[in-house]
Amino acid sequence: MFTPMTRFSLLDLVPVVEGGTVGTALANAADLARHAETLGYGRYWVAEHHGMTGIASAATAVVIGHVAAATSTIRVGAGGIMLPNHAPLVIAEQFGTLEALFPGRIDLGFGRAPGSDQRVARALRRTLETDPNAFPQDVLEVMSYFADDGQTGIRATPGAGANVPLWILGSSLFGAQLAAALGLPYAFASHFAPDALDQALAIYRRDFRPSAQLDRPHAMAGFNVFAADTDAEAELLASSQQQAFVALRTGNPRQLPPPVPGYRASLPPAQAVILDHVLACSAIGSPQTVQAGLKAFIDRTQVDEVMITSAIHDHTARKRSIAIAAEAMQALTA
């Protein structure tokens, strides 16, 4: 059954399109966030990725500052910071600075993947941490800096006393268990890793322990939307993301390519299976098709918040797509 209070937010990987530049991608990010703000989206998040020619959000805190400066009310944050790549003190200082600049508007989500391959991960961290307890301990250390409780013996400046809501992100059961144990909101990456979605949400809700930040579970899940005036037009727009996913999963990452008519039908069976699996949590089509897809997803998951995402080659078409998604969510909650 549909949850009337379901919120909707936007995840942007700040795609660099073929023939475009990082500068244009960053300008488009600010423009997209302003557009999302007018449409009623609650949050705009960017994610940390490294060594990927088609993603411009590697310096995640810098991009968040750029976008927050271009908007006025929408929450802006990280979905997420890959914490194993960083010293917790640095993250506390970065997001303490962002909160000081944009009070009440900054979110900080943590992931434990490197956001890259092992070669790039080693370049970022120099050594690869193998201790399975390192990620939870790093999260607790950031929490300690914000709480200014003296446990680390160091005062983060900026950072001490900052009111930055923390999230745990994940695509497996580990993140669900950690978010439940710490009493933090949980975001599942079903927009590209749908396998454990239902089990992770069930574990999170069952094991949740109230905390100073949150008194009851708050679950978010990612969902791809490629929307246009007709199903056929939306299928064409989606082919850019489909090409990018196939390229990534076959070891040939690329900038976001222009759409190709009939792309899905042209794939060999093995690649078609990869694509259909990775985009299982998606709605591709007209306003009616998208609304039906979103309703089915929310009925299934009962999430408190849907994080809508999609990479569309044409910026104007992308803005139209997120407008259709917003209209669909608003119709469902009316």
Summarize pLDDT for 233-259 with one digit per residue, the tens. Answer: 999 999 999 999 999 888 888 999 999
How does pLDDT run across 143-202, given as a tens digit for each residue? 999 999 999 999 999 999 999 999 999 999 999 999 999 999 999 999 999 999 999 999
pTM: 0.94
| pLDDT value at residue 51 | 87
Position 334 pLDDT exceeds 90: no
77-113 per-position pLDDT tens digit: 999 999 988 999 999 999 999 999 999 999 999 999 8
Confidence (pLDDT) at 1? 36
Q: If you average pLDDT over residues 115-122, what whole number do you get?
A: 69
What's the pLDDT at 203? 98
- Residue 322: the pLDDT is 98
pLDDT score, position 115: 55
For residue range 56-65, what is the model confidence (pLDDT) as tens digits?
999 999 999 9
Taking the CA atoms of residue 25, residue 264, residue 10 and residue 58 in that order, the dihedral angle to the nearest 10 degrees is: -40
pLDDT at 126 over 60: no
Residue 37 has pLDDT above 70, yes or no: yes
**What are the angstrom distances between the C-alpha of 64 and each of 13, 60, 87, 168?**
12, 6, 19, 18
For the beta carbon of residue 212, count every other beta carbon within 10 angstroms. Answer: 8
Say which residues have a Cβ less than 8 Å from residue 234's Cβ, sequence separation at least 6: 226, 227, 228, 284, 285, 286, 289, 290, 321
Say which residues have a Cβ less than 8 Å from residue 86's Cβ, sequence separation at least 6.
none
Q: Structural domains in the chain?
A: 7-333 (3.20.20.30)
pLDDT at 91: 97
